[in-house]
Amino acid sequence: MTAQAQRTVLTYGTFDLFHPGHVQLLKRARELGTRLVVGLSTDEFNALKGKQSVMSFEDRKAVLEACRYVDEVFAEDDWDQKVPDAIRLGADVFVMGDDWAGKFDFMAEQCHVVYLARTPDVSSTEIKQRMRAAPAVVLHA
Ligand code: CTP
């Protein structure tokens, strides 16, 4: 494939407890181009946002890198890095779920901005709540 034919899609997130909502978002994002690059929130950046993931940055990164729709993963550790990232990576499309609708319209100066409909009824938060509510499992030898 020539460099001209390449269309780079950029997205960001925490991707804790990788679930079908993440899969759908990444699949549809990848379909908008030929290369999908993910800015993955570091544990330190999440702490700044008041968010704590169950899986470490390294583990979340390893899972994302194993996903067939993801071509590259890099660290997101700053609110203000999106524009320089888009320039550095030559991003053509910026994608987020529609829970972020309108929040990243400023990226339209760099690339096409797309908000994809969230997959209903699943989130990392909801999985954590379900795990907390689940009765303890007793294993018998
Ligand atoms: N996403 C989605 N559908 C879902 C959950 C997430 O499309 N059901 C998208 C988000 O909109 C975002 C990306 O997946 O673009 C990464 O979201 P992230 O915040 O990591 O996932 P959540 O499951 O929403 O996490 P949390 O519950 O911690 O907010």
Q: Does residue 25 fall inside a structural domain?
A: yes
Cα(31)–Cα(28) distance, integer angstroms: 5
pLDDT given at position 3: 52
128 belongs to the catalytic site? no
Instruction: Return all residues near 18 (Cβ < 8 A) that are at least 6 apart.
Output: 60, 63, 64, 67
Domain of 75? 3-133
Residue 84 maps to which CATH number? Answer: 3.40.50.620
- 2 C-alpha to ligand 1 centroid (Å): 33
Burial zone of 101 (CB within 10 Å; 0-12 exposed, 13-18 middle, 19+ buried): middle
Judge if the beta carbon of residue 14 lies within 6 A of ligand 1: yes
Q: Are 91 and 36 in contact (CB under 8 A)?
A: no
* Domain count across the chain: 1
Q: Does residue 8 fall inside a structural domain?
A: yes
Q: Does residue 138 fall inside a structural domain?
A: no
Q: Does residue 120 fall inside a structural domain?
A: yes
Q: Does residue 141 fall inside a structural domain?
A: no
Q: Does residue 79 fall inside a structural domain?
A: yes
pLDDT given at position 4: 61
Judge if the beta carbon of residue 39 lies within 6 A of ligand 1: no
Query: Edge to edge, what strands does the sheet with 72-76 contain?
Result: 72-76, 35-41, 8-13, 93-97, 112-116
Q: Are 82 and 12 in contact (CB under 8 A)?
A: yes
Q: Does residue 40 fall inside a structural domain?
A: yes
Active-site option among 51, 61, 103, 128: 51
Judge if the beta carbon of residue 33 lies within 6 A of ligand 1: no
pLDDT given at position 1: 53
- Mean pLDDT per 10-residue interval, the chain, length 141 residues: 79 98 98 98 97 97 98 97 98 97 96 98 95 82 68
pLDDT given at position 134: 85
pLDDT given at position 64: 98
